[in-house]
Amino acid sequence: MEKGMTRMIINREIALKNLTIARDILGAKGIPMFLHFGTLLGALREKDFIAHDDDTDVGVYGSDKKAIQALIPALKAAGFEIVYTRDERLYKFKRQGEDLDFFFAYEKKNLFGRRWDLEGRASIPARHLDTLDETEFLGERFKVPHDPYAVVRNLYGRTWNVPIAHFPSRVDWRQRLAKLRNNPGKFFFYIRRFLTDRSKKAASATKPSGI
């Protein structure tokens, strides 16, 4: 879900139609597409779209990017328009007023083993995207990451099954370290912000009541 959106209720019928159209266009070329982020969470928890969500999220593999780019004319012919791209990791499409976000997953290797990087803000163990499962969602069949319940626990924490409006997926600590490595100056920014927040909390705690 993108920040700054004002429309809070998703159109269930259009959102589902968007998913099936995109699934079929990509599937005809052998390109897998899987439910992701808030849409995956809703499919597992509510068995529906999340009522307060404002877009639909799917994942695709970064290795399929060129093939997906070649299908943009077919997606446009089906009524989609491409709204914007972000760092070549997110393609946002819109059809009949509903957004469909394509998040590109890239395989990464580090000291902790292989993982799949998700849009640069989170990562999950490799086993979840090395193979995909399928699930029924609103009468249609869609691909999902392998062991999807473990994926949503990874992304949203242990309370993933408790609906909380606008609760974002967690930013993986490895991604935070990567950002600091690429921009060391951020370290001092985070330290200053932490100390400022601590100072404000301490001042608030010692402030006499009634003032």
Token pair of 49 as six digits: 């779209």
Per-residue pLDDT of the chain (211 residues; tens, 9 = 90+): 444 444 447 899 999 999 999 999 999 999 999 999 999 999 999 999 988 888 999 999 999 999 999 999 999 999 999 999 987 899 999 999 999 999 999 999 877 789 999 877 778 999 999 999 999 999 999 999 999 999 999 888 887 777 665 544 444 444 455 545 555 554 555 566 556 656 655 665 555 544 4
Strand 132-137 versus strand 98-110 pairing type: unpaired
Cα separation, 61 vs 58, whole angstroms: 10
62 neighbors 174 (Cβ within 8 angstroms): no
Q: Say what the pTM is.
A: 0.73
